Structure 1
């Protein structure tokens, strides 16, 4: 996939520059050690105009990730929001995926950087996992132990774990992986959270060993609005495989149903599932077809 062309602009340290001409230093911790923080954000073309969904929540999480890593965050969030909308305008993007990245200036030591840069880019990107139900396998890779890192931070280096799991799944003929945590309970996909459905209720792994996804939080909010019971708890592999259905959710993935886990086929029709209801409700929300945001 081509993410930019000769005329594409990115936002880099307060200026808009051509992506093809932007440069970075080769002696930074971000390149060598994965010490960087980023976000994935989506803009949607609505009947009101182009809207970036929950943009403030994303930038607040970016700031929090930096704080956890002891990375300076000298930017005003409202200004970053303003420049993000300007970036979309300059690149004539209506529906887009937006990637802010905070990375370190030259520093080859193993202590937190004193100087950082921020880059914001955007491109057109369809739903990351497609729009068909997925064949998923339980991955041999686990999510990092929360005592080894800050699992709640969106850190670039964490995604080596995601790449390993996703690549392994695809090499085995699956669409995506599902990782367990250190206790062998269900954690999340390489780039999405998971919900399972059982007897008319939704269940999702508790926070602590997973990324606190903004889409995950939105699904929980929608459940409250729609009077659907949702329970956060540790979920075993046995519970996962005996569920009526399941789905992934994330900014890039949006909401996508799961058809199989390993050799287990979910018998419930996707169209009859709570997941399908959440998929429709989420799409209506981000496109501002129904103003759930007044409530949530």
Structure 2
């Protein structure tokens, strides 16, 4: 996939520059050690105009990720939101995936940097995992022990774990991986949270060993509006495989139904599931087709 061309513009440290002319230093911690913070944000073409979904929540989380890990964050969130809309306008994007990245100054030590840079880029991107139900496997790779890193910070280096898990899953013929935590309990996908349907309720792993996603929070808010009970708890693999159904959710993934976990096939038809109801509700929300002002 080509993420940019000769006309693509990015935002770099206060200026809009051509993507193919932008430069970074090869001696930075971010390149060598993965010490950077990022976000994934979506913009949607709605009947009102192009809207960035939950822009403030994403940029506030970017700031929080930097604070948790000692990465200097010196930018104003309102200004970043403004410049992101300008970025979409300059590239003539109506529907887009947006990637802010805070990366470090040139230095090769293992001490947090004193100066950082920020980049905003965007590209047109469809459903990350496609539109069909997914075949997933329980990965041999576990999520990092929460005592080994800031598990709730969206840090670049943490995603080596995700790349290993996804690559392993695809090499085995699956669409995606499901990772367990250090206690052998269900945690999340490589880049998405998971919800499990059983007996008319939804279950999702509790915070502590997962990255609590903004889409995850949105799904929980939608469930309150739709009077769907959500239980946050520790979840075993056996519970997952004995459930009626499951789905992933995330900014890139949006809401994606799961058909099989390893060799276990969910018998419930997707169109009859709570997940399918929430998939439709989420799409209506981001496209502003339904008045859900109570949660946005």
SS of equivalent to 1:150: coil
Deviations 1:226-277 (A, max 9, x none): 0000000010000000000000000000000000000000000000000000
SS of equivalent to 1:5: coil
- 1:188–1:295 distance in 2 versus 1, CA, 3 Å: closer
Taking the TM superposition and a 5 Å limit, the aligned residue runs for 1:90-129 are: 90-129=90-129
2:143 aligned partner: 143
TM-score by length of 1: 0.99
1:256 aligned partner: 256
Once residues 294 and 286 of structure 1 are traced to their aligned partners in structure 2, the CA distance between those partners, rounded to angstroms, is 14
- Structure 1 moving runs of 4+ over 6 Å: none
Once residues 256 and 180 of structure 1 are traced to their aligned partners in structure 2, the CA distance between those partners, rounded to angstroms, is 19
SS of equivalent to 1:293: coil
2:7 aligned partner: 7
- 1:268–1:121 distance in 2 versus 1, CA, 3 Å: same
Once residues 131 and 150 of structure 2 are traced to their aligned partners in structure 1, the CA distance between those partners, rounded to angstroms, is 31
Shift of 1:294: 2.9
Shift of 1:107: 1.1
Once residues 97 and 110 of structure 2 are traced to their aligned partners in structure 1, the CA distance between those partners, rounded to angstroms, is 32
2:53 aligned partner: 53
- 1:255–1:268 distance in 2 versus 1, CA, 3 Å: same
Question: Contact (CA 8 Å) 1:11, 1:119: kept in 2 or not?
Answer: yes
Deviations 1:118-144 (A, max 9, x none): 000000000111110000000000000
Question: Contact (CA 8 Å) 1:137, 1:178: kept in 2 or not?
Answer: yes
Shift of 1:291: 1.6
TM-score by length of 2: 0.99
1:40 aligned partner: 40
Once residues 242 and 292 of structure 2 are traced to their aligned partners in structure 1, the CA distance between those partners, rounded to angstroms, is 32
1:171 aligned partner: 171
Residue segments in structure 2 that go unaligned for 5+ positions in a row? none
Once residues 291 and 183 of structure 2 are traced to their aligned partners in structure 1, the CA distance between those partners, rounded to angstroms, is 39
Question: Contact (CA 8 Å) 1:285, 1:293: kept in 2 or not?
Answer: no
SS of equivalent to 1:173: coil
SS of equivalent to 2:165: helix
2:284 aligned partner: 284
